Structure 1
Amino acid sequence: MDDIDSAILAHLQRDARQTNRELAAAVGLAPSTCLERVRALRAAGVLTGFHAAVDLAALNRTVQALISVQLRPLNREVIQNFKSYTAGLPEVLSVYVVTGPQDILLHVAVPDVDAMHTFLMDRITVRREVVGFNTSVIYQHTSNPVVSRLP
């Protein structure tokens, strides 16, 4: 990874739909050289895919929350099964295995508060391994659209 690779990554993260010619011009390379660098970044596993950004509000999923979940018995199989189960739920955006008093952190998005309650009652509390959870509604959030290498 050099500065040109970092620039390529930044431009692709902002707009993955741009043509190779546009990307090459933006980073000051010949199109053939730019294409080879993009291919090398994919081969190295730095670029893992290209994704579409989705407006959750346009999909009527205006209420987001972070749900901390405590599981028991705490072992690899229980964690993996719960992680797989929740990752397959349509309300769930992300699943994190974390340290601390809670074991799993879920990022969910639903249409309204009633749907959040239904999700918690029908999808989370029905699981025998769940011994507790805590829900934090997200009022606002900002994410960094560009991830770069650290110095």
Structure 2
Amino acid sequence: MDGPGRDPRSKDVRTERLDDLDARILAILEREGRITNADLAAALDIAPSTAHARMRSLVERGVITGFHASVDQERLGRGLQAMVGVTLRPGSRHDSIVAFADEVRRLPQVVQLFFIGGADDFLVHIAVERASDVRQFVVDHLSAQPSVATTRTSIIFEYHRNAVAAPFR
């Protein structure tokens, strides 16, 4: 699997492109992350040693960044979810962006935090027990921050997730 311009003696597999087998492995893992190596190999009609080596390569190359559990927030008593758009005040943008992200990502109600371009600076995905908890979260943790100019809250009725995204660096 030597690519053009790549030293065939190099042990660095990070520069290799994904081939069809890699793509098939990823498609199966996105649907069933807990599949055993033996079942993965059988599904792909390859040897278990090949499946293991390919998985290890995908992890080493940084294509697979982790293995995650999908948690049912409702079973945890946090069945109400919302997306809160947050716009920060103009000014010392870099410092306020970093400080806001550092503080908000640690809050237990936060499921996901997105730093985005557009009308808002952030989208904060939260899961709480009831509507009054959404209000309290926005008032206590977002609007109370001096760097926050505005918030906009949308309740999530239902959602579908195709895959777990890798964290941004």
- Give me the TM-score of the superposition, normalised by structure 1: 0.91
State the alpha-carbon separation in 2 of the partners of residues 69 and 136 from structure 1: 12
Q: Which of these residues, 75, 92, 97, is aligned with residue 58 of structure 1?
A: 75
The residue type equivalent to 1:63 in the other structure is L
Q: Is the 8 A contact 1:10 1:146 kept in 2?
A: no
1:2-60 Cα offsets, whole Å, 9 max, x none, are 11111111112222222111111111110011111001101110011111111111011
Following TM superposition, the consecutive aligned residue runs of length 4 or more in structure 1 with deviations greater than 6 angstroms are none
SS in 2 for 1:94: strand
Q: Which runs of 5+ in 1 are unaligned?
A: none
Question: 1:100 Cα deviation (Å)?
Answer: 2.0
SS in 1 for 2:107: coil
Residue aligning to 2:111: 93
Residue aligning to 2:59: 42
State the alpha-carbon separation in 2 of the partners of residues 37 and 28 from structure 1: 13
Residue aligning to 1:14: 31
- Indicate the larger mover: 69-78 or 28-37: 69-78
Q: Which of these residues, 97, 106, 109, is aligned with residue 79 of structure 1?
A: 97
1:41-86 Cα offsets, whole Å, 9 max, x none, are 0111001111111111101111111111111235111101101111
1:51–1:146 CA distance, 2 compared to 1 (3 A): closer
Residue aligning to 1:140: 158
State the alpha-carbon separation in 2 of the partners of residues 40 and 81 from structure 1: 36
Question: 1:145 Cα deviation (Å)?
Answer: 3.5
Amino-acid identity (%): 39
State the alpha-carbon separation in 2 of the partners of residues 13 and 143 from structure 1: 10
Larger Rg: 2
Question: 1:146 Cα deviation (Å)?
Answer: 7.7
Q: Which runs of 5+ in 2 are unaligned?
A: 1-17
Q: Which of these residues, 101, 117, 126, is aligned with residue 144 of structure 2?
A: 126
The residue type equivalent to 1:100 in the other structure is G
State the alpha-carbon separation in 2 of the partners of residues 101 and 75 from structure 1: 15
SS in 1 for 2:27: helix
- CA RMSD between the two structures: 1.4
The residue type equivalent to 2:82 in the other structure is A
Higher relative contact order structure (alpha carbons within 8 Å, sequence separation ≥ 6) = 1
- Give me the TM-score of the superposition, normalised by structure 2: 0.82
Q: Is the 8 A contact 1:67 1:136 kept in 2?
A: yes
Q: Is the 8 A contact 1:14 1:146 kept in 2?
A: no
The number of equivalent residue pairs is: 147
